[in-house]
Structure 1
C-alpha cells in the first residue's frame, strides 16, 4: 500500500513539471507602443483640489492631465488656456488649480522652493536658485552663496553644476557634498 501511495505522489509531482516544461513555441510579440517612458518627475499639486500633495508622474505629462490625479473640488466646465497648459511638467513643478464660480479652471505652474526640493530629494536647478537658496546648502554660507551668484552673473547668467569648482572657496570635498542636490 505504501508503494502505491509513493508512486501516486511521484506522478503528481512529476506530471505538472513535465507539462509546464514543454512550451508550444509561440512567443507573444509586444505591442508596437507598449514601452512607456520610465522618466518620472515629482510635482506638487494644490489649489481647488481634494487631494493636494506631491505626485510622481510621467515626465511627458501635461499640467491638465496631472491635475486630474488630485481630483478637482468642482466640475470644470472649461479650462482657461495659459502657457502652462500645453507644456510637459518638469521636476519640481508647483501646479495650482483655481476654479472660478462659472466653472472655469485656471492652472498656474511655478516651482517648488529650493528648501522643500532638498527635503523631498528633487534635484535643484542651479540657474534659478537665489542667494538664499544657495545659503541653505550644507557647507555653503552667505559669503559663498554670494560668490556663486556673482560667478553666475559674470558668466552669462547660466552655469553648470561643474562650474561650482571654479567658484573661489569651493573645494573638491565641498563640491562632492553639495553636487548631490543637483
Structure 2
C-alpha cells in the first residue's frame, strides 16, 4: 500500500510543478508582448504631431504676401511680408536712400499681394508733369506719386479705397474737394458700398471726365 501512495504523491508533486511552470511561462510571454502595446500610442502621437506641423507650416505660407519695392531705395526688389503689413514695413526693408521722399508716401497704408511700392526722391524721380502711375505686378494695382507741382502737391501715394476712405482721404484725390468728398460719403450711406469703381460716376459732380482722371487712383477692394 505504501508504494501506490508514494507513487501518487510523486505524481501529484510533478503535476503541481508543471502547473507552476506553465504559469511562469505565460507571465514571461505576456511581459514580452506588453512593450509593443505601449509603443503604439507613442508612435501614433508622433504621426499626429507631424501632421499638425504640416498644417501649421501650410497656414503660415498662406499668410505671406509678395511686394515689389522700387524707386529711391538702396535694396530694390521683391519682399515677402506677413499679411497685414504696411507700406512702412516694406520701405524699411528696402532701406530708403538719403534723398528719398518717404514723407510723400502714406506709410500706414495696408499692403496686398502683388503690390508695388514706388519710393519717390526729393529730386522728383520719375519725370515731370502730372501724376504718374506705376502699375503693380499681376494685379494691375499700383502706387501713384506726384511728379510735378499741382494744387495737391503730395499726390496720392497708394490706391484709395472709396468704400473705406474718410472725407480727408477722398479730398486728396485730384478734382475732389470737401464738397464732393461729402457727396461720396452720403452716397455710401444711402446706396451702400460701391460695387466697382465705375459706380463713382453716380455721385453728383463726378462725370466721365473726372472719373477718367481718378480711376487709376481708386479701388473698391
Q: TM-score range by the shorter chain?
A: 0.3 to 0.5
Which structure has more helix as a fraction of its residues?
A: 2
**RCO higher in structure (CA 8 A, sep ≥6):** 1
TM-score, structure 2 normalization: 0.33
* Larger radius of gyration between Structure 1 and Structure 2: 2
TM-score, structure 1 normalization: 0.39
